[in-house]
Amino acid sequence: MRTFCRFQLVYTVDRYVMVFQCFPTLQISKDEKFIFCTCGTRVNVLQIVTGKIVHSIEQDDQEDITSFALSLDDEILVTASKALLLKQWDWKQAQCTRSWRAIHNVPIASMTFDPTATLLATGGCDGTIKLWDVVKQYCTHNLKGSSGVVHLVEFHPDISLLQLFSSASDCGIRMWDLRSSQCLCVLQSHYSPVTSLAFTPDGASMVSSGRDKICIVWDLKSRTARRTVPVYESVVLLPEDEDFSEVGVKTKEIHFITAGSKGICVLRVWDASSARCVFTQTLPSPPSYGDPRSLTYCLPLPSSLRLATVTAEHNILLYQLPSFTTQQQFVGFNDEVLDVKFLGKGDTHIVVATNSSQLKVFDLATSSCKILYGHTDTVLSLDVFKKGSLFVSCAKDKSVRVWRQDPDSGQVSCVAQGCSHANAVGSITCSRMKESFVVSGSQDCTIKVWDLPETIPETDGDMFQLTSRVTEKAHDKDVNSVAVSPNDKLLVSGSQDRLAKLWSLGAPGADLALLGVFRGHRRGVWCVQFSPMDQVLASSSADGSVKLWSLQDFSCLKVGEGCGSDGLVKLWTIKTNECVKTLDAHQDKVWGLHATRKDDRVVTASADSNITVWTDVTEVEQAEEQAKQEDQILKKQELSNLLHEKKYLKALGLAISLDQPHTVLKVIKGIGEDGAKQLEKTVLKLRQDQKESMLRYCAVWNTNARSCLDAQAVIQVMLTHLSPEELLQYQGARAHLEGLIPYTERHMQRIGRLLQASMFLDYMWQKMRVTGAPAR
């Protein structure tokens, strides 16, 4: 994969569209600004407004996290891992503040905090429940009696009752009295594991849901089941003080929302008193059994009157109540990303093809995602028309599709479809000047040209059926890549047969005409692109090379070696044929690469499931460097003025701030000209951080005979007026002092030899005077 762009040298990561996943559950902070979810050995903290992972709290033992809990005041996060360790975190700083053994003999399956955030309950796979005082840091209870894995623990909202509810593999709901550590009763009505518990505001009733497709309303005073409602798994109670009349809520009785798996993709509102469904959510397309939109979990956001749901594909959807409209959607897992393109008038979105039949359109400002359904097999390639609102896709289902994004609402609709290839369509490209045609390349070895109607439908209700005006048997093996020239007159194709071919598109209605063949690659050609400025073609191959070809005589102009599947993105300058920059942000093969129309940003997508947006900061860094140089010139002039005015303290402080040892040495020499007392007075007035820098400089100066005397003069001042304890508090003092010793010994030996030589000269001079004295 390659692209031509304006030559720039410095790119920095603008943002990541990363995998955060969300299984088996998630939690939302009390202020409803953050979503907490597990991903292997990490707990990712997702900011709802921006969609960015702002914190990633990772186990240092690299063991998977089995459960976690966030206190109701959002202050404490506790995680449990397969290593049977509990860790308490200051999640805002991503720092572990405490860790202790869980005492459980097997991993912890569930945990929760009480309303006061002082008690933590943990349910183990060994059937035991333990309660911990997180303030005084000890285990307060050890509750036994459950059978199998304790997968659900919940405190009663009225903390004065000191009651805990739990459910295990035996499908019963146990009510525990924490004063006596006894099980008060077992609520038996479910026939499969209980998945969620929800309490009414007054604490008198509770609603439980299970995998047996029923919800049960319990009277907690009589400890009996009041009503059984045949629904699905997860349950959330509707707030009693809000108006939900538009979704069929007519009475003040208990109403709840359900969401479940088993192919159920919709949310439903139920009247608990009559066991009747009063509202069913409407989806854009009918749900089917095993639909990836199946809901597995839901969680209320009471302050903003929203509902969070998790799908079978680990996507998080936020619904606004009571309208049940989708407000935001975050994708938890992308699988292998096969292609990516910028989308929208201002390149505000990206459209992504992953290892699935769905397309994903991300808003880069919020990371909110819209999932597009239409293809029935894996989407392999994408391309976008010049204006940015119309784009095309092709897939293994042998079809090509044209999509339109509404510039105002951001909604995307499939407006055209073509299905006449005999095998998977692996590459697609569109016209560059006008929205007039699409070209596709397939594993059936053919290239097809599809003409678009002059008036393209606005919505999928008027979908246009495309027919190919040209079908050409182009290669002997799979067509891996196709590209259209900037003037829409030429087409190039790259194939698994190691060849790239240049075609003339000709006038509308005309057949393709072969103009030439580019030979030279030793393996299949995976991508071809036209230069936007020169009559040059670029091709890349599985042989690890990038070749530039002349469109005039089809000769190879340059060869770039070193491309591979190591996840690196390399920036080459064509003039010198050198790799001048390597961008490292991926752990696996980079399949997608695209630049904005202004060439100020680049997006890359990889088999590691991550998408990275890079911003060109060349001009910014050049401006910063120029400003830095100008500042250095001004400071050097100021330094010269200070020395001339004999303002030694300011001069030395300014020289140290420049962090230039040679400049500081010049200042020291200048101060030394006024005598040792002036040097001593100036050095002692420096701040501690400035003295630390001076000590570091002295270790460097002392290695040179020309500057060792100045270094020794400064060291003498420090050793004379600073105690050893005080000196050792300086950063790196021990290493600097140890570095001074061998060179100081060498200087002493040199001075000793010089002194001996000088004494010999003095002796010789005295003898010469005696010998040459006149006789008396």
- Does pLDDT of 23 surpass 80? no
Q: How far apart are CA 153 and CA 672, in angstroms?
A: 75
Band (121; pLDDT cuts 50, 70, 90)? very high
CA torsion through residues 301, 304, 310, 316, sign: negative
CA angle (31, 36, 39) in 5-degree steps: 170
Q: What is the mean pLDDT of residues 177-199?
A: 93
Backbone angles phi, psi at 361, to 5 degrees: -110, 115
Map residue 54 onto helix, strand or coil: strand
Band (263; pLDDT cuts 50, 70, 90)? very low
- Does pLDDT of 427 surpass 90? yes
Q: Output the pLDDT for position 567.
A: 87
**238, 212 contact by CB (below 8 A):** no
- Does pLDDT of 5 surpass 70? no
Tell me whether residue 628 is exposed, middle or buried, using C-beta atoms within 10 angstroms of its C-beta: 0 to 12, 13 to 18, 19 or more: exposed
Q: How far apart are CA 28 and CA 22, in angstroms?
A: 12
* Listed ranges 16-25, 252-261, 407-416, 623-632; the one with the highest mean pLDDT: 407-416
- Please give the C-alpha separations between residue 269 and each of 279, 280, 307, in angstroms, as whole numbers: 5, 7, 12
Type of residue found at 632: Q
What counts of helices (H) and strands (E) characterise the chain? 8, 55
Q: Cβ of 773: how many Cβ atoms within 10 Å? A: 8
- Does pLDDT of 743 surpass 90? no
- Does pLDDT of 189 surpass 50? yes
- Does pLDDT of 79 surpass 90? yes
Q: Output the pLDDT for position 629.
A: 85
Band (306; pLDDT cuts 50, 70, 90)? very high
Q: Output the pLDDT for position 289.
A: 58
396: Cβ contacts below 8 Å, ≥ 6 apart: 377, 378, 380, 424, 425
Q: Output the pLDDT for position 343.
A: 94
pLDDT, one tens digit per residue, over 696-717 is 888 888 888 888 888 888 888 8
257: Cβ contacts below 8 Å, ≥ 6 apart: 235, 236, 237, 238, 267, 268, 269, 270, 298, 307
Q: How far apart are CA 276 and CA 770, in angstroms?
A: 130
766: Cβ contacts below 8 Å, ≥ 6 apart: none
**240, 202 contact by CB (below 8 A):** no
Q: Which of 540-560 are b and which e, b meaning 16 or more Cβ less than 10 Å from the residue's Cβ?
A: bbbbebbbbbebeebeeeeeb
- Nearest one of 233, 214, 145, 141 to 183, comparing CA atoms: 145
* Listed ranges 300-314, 441-455, 682-696; the one with the highest mean pLDDT: 441-455
Which of the pair, 209 or 636, is modelled with greater confidence? Answer: 209
Q: 212-221 contacts: CB < 8 A, separation 24 or more? A: 212/171, 213/260, 213/262, 214/189, 214/190, 215/256, 215/258, 215/270, 215/272, 216/189, 216/190, 217/254, 217/272, 218/173, 218/187, 220/156, 220/175
Q: How far apart are CA 378 and CA 359, in angstroms?
A: 9
Question: Which alpha helices (H) appear in 107-266, and where do they start and end?
Answer: none
- Nearest one of 220, 203, 192, 198 to 154, comparing CA atoms: 198
Q: Output the pLDDT for position 22.
A: 61
- Nearest one of 685, 677, 683 to 698, comparing CA atoms: 683
Q: Which of 37-75 are b and which e, b meaning 16 or more Cβ less than 10 Å from the residue's Cβ?
A: bbbebbbbbbebeebbbebebbbeeebebbbbbbbbebe
Map residue 437 onto helix, strand or coil: strand
pLDDT, one tens digit per residue, over 221-235 is 999 999 998 876 678
CA torsion through residues 272, 277, 278, 284, sign: positive
Q: Which two tokens stand for residue 328?
A: 């935001």
Q: Cβ of 619: how many Cβ atoms within 10 Å? A: 11
Q: Output the pLDDT for position 536.
A: 94
- Nearest one of 30, 31, 63, 59 to 44, comparing CA atoms: 59
Q: How far apart are CA 571 and CA 547, in angstroms?
A: 14
Q: What is the mean pLDDT of residues 491-498?
A: 96
Q: How far apart are CA 338 and CA 380, in angstroms?
A: 6
Percent of the chain topping pLDDT 90: 44
Q: Which two tokens stand for residue 728?
A: 């050792």
pLDDT, one tens digit per residue, over 236-260 is 888 888 888 888 888 888 888 888 6
- Does pLDDT of 508 surpass 80? no
Q: Output the pLDDT for position 394.
A: 96
Q: Output the pLDDT for position 550.
A: 94
Q: How far apart are CA 404 and CA 381, in angstroms?
A: 16
Q: Cβ of 618: how many Cβ atoms within 10 Å? A: 16
- Does pLDDT of 460 surpass 50? yes
- Does pLDDT of 261 surpass 60? no
Q: How far apart are CA 773 and CA 776, in angstroms?
A: 9
Q: Which of 192-215 are b and which e, b meaning 16 or more Cβ less than 10 Å from the residue's Cβ?
A: ebbbbbbbbeeeebbbbbbbbbbb
Q: Which residue has the tokens 């303290």?
A: 649
Q: How far apart are CA 595 and CA 597, in angstroms?
A: 7
Q: How far apart are CA 338 and CA 381, in angstroms?
A: 7
Strands (E), 505-639: 513-518, 525-530, 536-541, 545-550, 556-561, 568-573, 578-584, 590-595, 601-606, 611-616
Percent of the chain topping pLDDT 70: 95
Q: Which two tokens stand for residue 498?
A: 């190691």
- Does pLDDT of 34 surpass 90? yes
Q: Output the pLDDT for position 773.
A: 58
Q: How far apart are CA 648 and CA 717, in angstroms?
A: 16
